[in-house]
Amino acid sequence: MQKNWWHKATIYQIYPKSFMDKNGDGIGDLKGITSKLDYLQKLGITALWLSPVYDSPMDDNGYDIANYEAIADIFGDMSDMDELLVEAKKRDIRIIMDLVVNHTSDEHAWFIEARENPESLERDFYIWRDKPNELVSIFGGSAWEYDETSGQYYLHFFSKKQPDLNWENPQLRQKVYDMMNFWIDKGIGGFRMDVIDMIGKIPDQLIDTNGPKLHDYIKEMNQASFGKHDLLTVGETWGATPEIAKQYSNPDNQELSMVFQFEHIGLQHKPDSPKWEYEKELDVSALKAMFNKWQTELELGQGWNSLFWNNHDLPRVLSMWGDTGVYREKSAKALAILLHLMRGTPYIYQGEEIGMTNYPFKTLEELNDIESLNYAKEALEKGASIEVIMDQIRQVGRDNARTPMQWDTSKNAGFSISDKTWLSVNPNYKDINVESALANPESIFYTYQKLVELRKTQDWLVDADFELLETTDKVFAYIRKTKDSSYLIAVNLSDQEQIFDYNFDVEEVVISNTELEPITDQGKLQAWDAICVKVK
Q: Residue 23 binds which one of ligand TEU, Ca ion, none, with CB within 5 to 8 A depending on kind?
A: Ca ion
**Strand locations in 241-370 (E):** 258-260, 306-307, 345-349
Cβ proximity of 310 and 349 under 8 Å: yes
Shortest Å distance, C-beta 445 to Ca ion:
25
Query: Hey, what long-range contacts does 116-120 have (CB within 8 A, 24 or more apart)?
Result: 116/149, 118/149, 118/150, 118/152
Residue closer to Ca ion (CB basis): 14 or 27: 27
Stretch binding Ca ion (CB under 5 A), from 3-11, 20-28, 207-215, 318-326: 20-28
* 3-state SS class at 427: helix
Residue 270 or 430 having the CB closest to ligand TEU: 270
- Please tell me the distance from the alpha carbon of residue 421 to that of residue 21, in angstroms, as a whole number: 9
Look at phi and psi of residue 61 and say left if phi exceeds 0, alpha if psi is from -120 to 50, else beta.
Answer: left
How far is 42 from 134, CA to CA, in rounded Å? 51
For Ca ion, the closer CB: 16 or 203:
16
Q: For residue 489, what are the CA distances in angstroms to 190, 441, 473, 481?
A: 31, 22, 16, 11
Binding track over 28-67 against Ca ion, x by CB under 5 A: -x--------------------------------------
Per the CB < 8 A criterion, the answer to whether 447 and 470 are in contact is: no
- Residue 165 CB: number of other CB atoms within 10 A? 26
Given the rule CB under 5 A, which of 18-26, 216-224, 259-267, 269-277 is the region that contacts Ca ion?
18-26
CB-nearer residue toward ligand TEU: 179 or 475? 179
The reply to whether 418 sits near Ca ion by the rule CB under 5 A is no
| Cβ distance to ligand TEU smaller for residue 248 or 445 | 248
DSSP-based three-state secondary structure for 121: helix
Identify the CA nearest to 335 among candidates 80, 528, 79, 497: 528
Which does residue 478 bind out of Ca ion, ligand TEU, none, counting CB within 5 to 8 angstroms by kind? none
Q: Looking at beta carbons only, is 137 or 513 nearer to ligand TEU?
A: 137
77's contact among Ca ion, ligand TEU, none, with CB below 5 to 8 A by partner kind, is none
Question: Which of 191, 429 has the CB closer to ligand TEU?
Answer: 191
3-state secondary structure of 6: helix
Residue 23 in contact with Ca ion, rule: CB under 5 A: yes
Of 8, 25, 253, 446, which lies in the binding site for Ca ion, with binding defined by CB under 5 A?
25
Could you please report the per-residue DSSP string of 188-221?
--EEEETTGGGTT-BGGGTB-SS-TTHHHHHHHH
Among Ca ion, ligand TEU, none, residue 100 binds (CB under 5-8 Å by kind): ligand TEU
Annotation says 194 is catalytic: yes
Residue 35 Cβ, how far from Ca ion at the closest point, in Å? 11
CA distances 27 to 24, 51, 416, Å, are 7, 14, 8
* Residue 398 binding target from Ca ion, ligand TEU, none, CB below 5 to 8 Å by type: ligand TEU
Q: Is 381 a catalytic residue?
A: no
Q: Which of 29, 60, 122, 236 is catalytic?
A: 236
User: Closest approach of Cβ 375 to ligand TEU, in Å?
Assistant: 9
Q: What is the DSSP-derived secondary structure letter of residue 269?
A: B
**Segment contacting Ca ion by CB under 5 A, of 15-23, 47-55, 104-112, 259-267:** 15-23
Chosen from ligand TEU, Ca ion, none, partner binding at 158 (C-beta under 5 to 8 Å by type): ligand TEU
Number of residues that bind Ca ion (CB under 5 A): 5
Q: Strand order of the sheet with strand 47-50?
A: 258-260, 232-236, 190-193, 94-99, 47-50, 11-14, 345-349, 306-307
Residues at the site binding ligand TEU, with contacts judged by CB under 6 A = 60, 63, 100, 138, 158, 194-195, 236, 238, 275, 312-313, 371, 398
**Marked catalytic residue, from 194, 255, 371, 529:** 194
At residue 374, what is the residue type? N
**Positions marked active-site:** 194, 236
Question: Contact residues for Ca ion (CB under 5 A)?
Answer: 21, 23, 25, 27, 29
